[in-house]
Chains A and B, each alone.
Chain A
Amino acid sequence: MSPAGAAAASGARRAVVRQALSVGVATGAYGISFGALAVAAGLDTWQAMALSLLMFTGGSQFAFVGIIANGLHAAPAAIAASSMLGIRNGLYALELTHLLGARGPVRVAAAHLTIDESTAVAVAQDDERTSRLGFWVTGLTVFVLWNLTTLAGALIGNLIGDPRTYGLDAAACAAFTALLWPRLRNRDAVAIAVVGAVVAIVLSPTLPPGIPVVTAAAASLLAWHTPRREQP
């Protein structure tokens, strides 16, 4: 590599580390709201920590505690909703596995760190080495901060007492809105969201808690048809 090429490569590596750390810090901040919401939903601090350590995928964790807050009878629906939200990580993994070229235990670690943020940083890079660096630095930074802030949030949540007084139930609504927002990129996405929401509300008075949410997932079948711009 020419000296200029080497300088450019090290510049790209510094840039991806900066990007990875800033994504990690921003995501870590959600951990506080997750920890507080988890204890408000009836989990203890260890259970909130177990979700962040072992499940480690924010959207699924928020969905799980949101539904389990209705009681243990909602557990199957909570598991179903968190699992369906986790399918996208499997799709990210399909893209990442060639890029990372990891084997054995390293691949298992890579699987655990396969989330929205690490994938986004990895696929945004121009070359393979920078992608790998971006994936690992983002994944590890988010993992450490997400778990530390979950603990902080759970401890704060325990001090608060009745979650309604501080609007923690409404914080969950705002959190789901914020998780949904960046996905509403086109008219098809908005239509799917509206159908999902209407189905869930219409079914809520007649079905046990959590089941309407899982049923509303069927709205994603609206994506069966080919978007107009993709037709020949």
Chain B
Amino acid sequence: MSLWTAILVAAAIAFGLKLAGHLVPAHLLDAPRVRRITAALPIALLAALVATQAFTGPGGSFVLDARAAAVAVAVVALLLRAPFIVVVVLGAATAAVLRALGWA
């Protein structure tokens, strides 16, 4: 699969899901259990993405490096109600500074 194919397939599915919600009769998905699980899906996926992006190294092994420090700083910024872009910039700056200093 080429990168372009992957992009177009993923984009088509994303649009298809949006359009389906506008076309499908609402009662089909009205079960509270279905709603709870679909609401929980982004939580599980985003947590898994944080975990793998921040705490795994080559070959998928567990590592603690500059990225873990960046997540810690991001959490502090979020506790202080910093906006998204500030959280992202602080995360990047944390890792960049630690690497420049040779500490991580």
B88 / chain A contacts, CB cutoff of 8 Å:
30, 33, 171, 174-175, 178
B51 / chain A contacts, CB cutoff of 8 Å:
196-198, 200-201, 216
B45 / chain A contacts, CB cutoff of 8 Å:
63, 81, 84-85, 196, 213, 216-217, 220
Interface string of A75-109 (1 = CB under 8 A from B): 11011011111111111111011100010000110
B30 to chain A, nearest CB (A): 9
Closest B-chain residue to A213, C-beta based? B48
B19 to chain A, nearest CB (A): 4
A51 touches B18 (CB 8 A): no
B95 touches A78 (CB 8 A): no
Closest B-chain residue to A89, C-beta based? B18
> What is the total of A-B residue contacts with beta carbons within 8 Å?
317
B10 touches A170 (CB 8 A): no
Q: How far is the CA of A203 from the CA of B19 in the complex (A)?
A: 34
A223 touches B21 (CB 8 A): no
Q: Tell me the interface secondary structure of chain B in the complex.
A: helix
B11 touches A174 (CB 8 A): no
CB contact between B8 and one of A54, A184, A201 (< 8 Å): that residue: A54
A226 / chain B contacts, CB cutoff of 8 Å:
32
A171 touches B92 (CB 8 A): yes
Sorting the interface of chain B by its residue count into under 10, 10 to 19, 20 to 34 or 35 or more gives 35 or more
A167 touches B40 (CB 8 A): no
Q: How far is the CA of A3 from the CA of B95 in the complex (A)?
A: 58
A173 touches B6 (CB 8 A): no
Interface string of A184-227 (1 = CB under 8 A from B): 10001100111111111101111101001100111111111011
Residue A8, interface by CB 8 Å: no
B85 touches A33 (CB 8 A): yes
A74 to chain B, nearest CB (A): 9
Q: Tell me the interface secondary structure of chain A in the complex.
A: helix
Closest B-chain residue to A28, C-beta based? B85
Q: How far is the CA of A200 from the CA of B43 in the complex (A)?
A: 13
Closest A-chain residue to B90, C-beta based? A174
A192 touches B40 (CB 8 A): yes
A90 touches B18 (CB 8 A): yes
A114 to chain B, nearest CB (A): 5
Interface string of A23-34 (1 = CB under 8 A from B): 000100110110
By a beta-carbon cutoff of 8 Å, the part of chain A in contact with chain B is 26, 29-30, 32-33, 42-43, 47, 50-51, 54-57, 59-60, 62-64, 66-68, 72, 75-76, 78-79, 81-94, 96-98, 102, 107-108, 110-112, 114, 164-181, 183-184, 188-189, 192-201, 203-207, 209, 212-213, 216-224, 226-227, 230
Known: A196-B47, A204-B56. 16 other contacts (CB 8 A): A50-B7, A55-B15, A79-B9, A84-B45, A86-B13, A90-B21, A114-B18, A167-B66, A170-B94, A174-B73, A177-B87, A178-B87, A193-B44, A196-B43, A197-B47, A200-B48
21 chain-A/chain-B pairs, Cβ below 8 angstroms: A33-B88, A50-B8, A54-B12, A57-B14, A57-B18, A60-B10, A72-B1, A82-B10, A84-B45, A86-B13, A93-B18, A93-B21, A97-B23, A111-B18, A111-B21, A167-B66, A177-B71, A177-B87, A221-B37, A224-B37, A226-B32
